[in-house]
Amino acid sequence: MSPQASALASLQREMAAAVMLPLTTDETMQTKAADGRSMHSVAASFIVPNSRLSAFERLEIYNRQYWLRILGALAEDFPALRSLVGHSAFEALSVAYLTAHPSRSFTLRNLGSNLVQWLAENPAFAGRRLRLALDVARVEWAYVEAFDSAEWTPLTLDQVATLDANSRLALQPHLQLLALSFAADEIVLSLHDHEKRGASEAGVPPEEASQPPIKLPTLRPRPRWIAAHRVDLNVYYRRLERAEYLTLSAIRQGMPLAEALQTALASSPASRTPNPQKVQQWFANWAELGWICAPPLDSYLSKKEE
């Protein structure tokens, strides 16, 4: 790298760190950098003041806009989680999460990609509803993935009919498989509807910062297996049997059909004996929904070499 390119890269890193520095509680730029330096000095090192604004004030505009934009984008992707924990708590959660996982992509679509794992590692931000909050976050992130992940050409019913025990398949990239502890799909749909009603009243959004966590009835864990998938630019949630979920998961891992079914049924005590009619109905449903695809060629070749 030339000296000029190295200097430019250093300047870009310096400005990115300044722009990504979390705001104060008053939504202004902090006066100290993460390493303790004065932000006035940091700003003056690469920004020229003008007749109206100092270097600090000019940098503050970018700092504030960065945070307002990414906080808004994350809230748009997780409205049910925000309702569940309360808007103030969600903002604190968001700042902590985005400080640990700042935007690294050209698109804001990927902002929430690490939220479920981060929340599991930082349970205090979910309050007393951690397990439910994790399930809700899983369902909402599955929506994002299902909405804009790739779609491959599905196998036809005739092609599905030719499959044998050694066949290897792929699933649509947009198909998301979820194992949940609660009926979080129902909760998410209900909370999304609640958010829409609250925001549409008189055409003015409610005062969000003061909204506490939404009240929910006492919920007991109820294991659910869900598929989130896309049809004509709409995302739907479909309930699965446990053995059906495990079979799909095994297929996604690249197992041949017979091995996938054996693995799923062995892990599902209630279904140790395969029911041919039930399995046939699964495949008919999957084919009708367009979930089953041929594996990519590179995957097929690598399996042959093993």
| pLDDT tens figures, 277-292 | 989 999 999 999 999 9
Q: Rounded mean pLDDT of 163-185?
A: 96
Range in 94-98, 134-138, 178-182, 296-300 the model is least confident about: 296-300
Closest CA to 173 of 153, 155, 154, 150: 150
Residue 296: which pLDDT band, with cuts at 50, 70 and 90? confident
Q: Rounded mean pLDDT of 86-103?
A: 95
Task: Dig out the tokens for 194 from the structure.
Answer: 């609640």
* pLDDT for 177: 98
Closest CA to 188 of 141, 129, 242, 145: 141
Closest CA to 94 of 72, 66, 64, 61: 72
* pLDDT for 271: 56
Residue with tokens 């966590």: 213
Residue 203: which pLDDT band, with cuts at 50, 70 and 90? very low
Please state, in angstroms and rounded to a whole number, the distance separating the CA atoms of residues 212 and 199.
15
Closest CA to 260 of 283, 281, 284: 283
Residue with tokens 């054996």: 262
Give, as one character, the DSSP assignment of residue 32: B
Q: For 208-222, what is each residue's pLDDT tens digit?
A: 555 778 877 778 898
115: left (phi over 0), alpha (psi -120 to 50) or beta: alpha
* pLDDT for 213: 81
* Percent of the chain's residues with pLDDT above 90: 75
Q: Rounded mean pLDDT of 31-35?
A: 95
Q: Rounded mean pLDDT of 178-206?
A: 73
* Percent of the chain's residues with pLDDT above 70: 89
Q: For 108-144, what is each residue's pLDDT tens digit?
A: 999 999 999 999 999 999 998 999 999 999 999 999 9
Q: Is the pLDDT of residue 202 over 50?
A: no
Q: How many CB atoms lie within 10 A of CB 26?
A: 5
Give, to the nearest 10 degrees, the angle between helix 276-289 and helix 242-252.
Answer: 60
* pLDDT for 225: 97
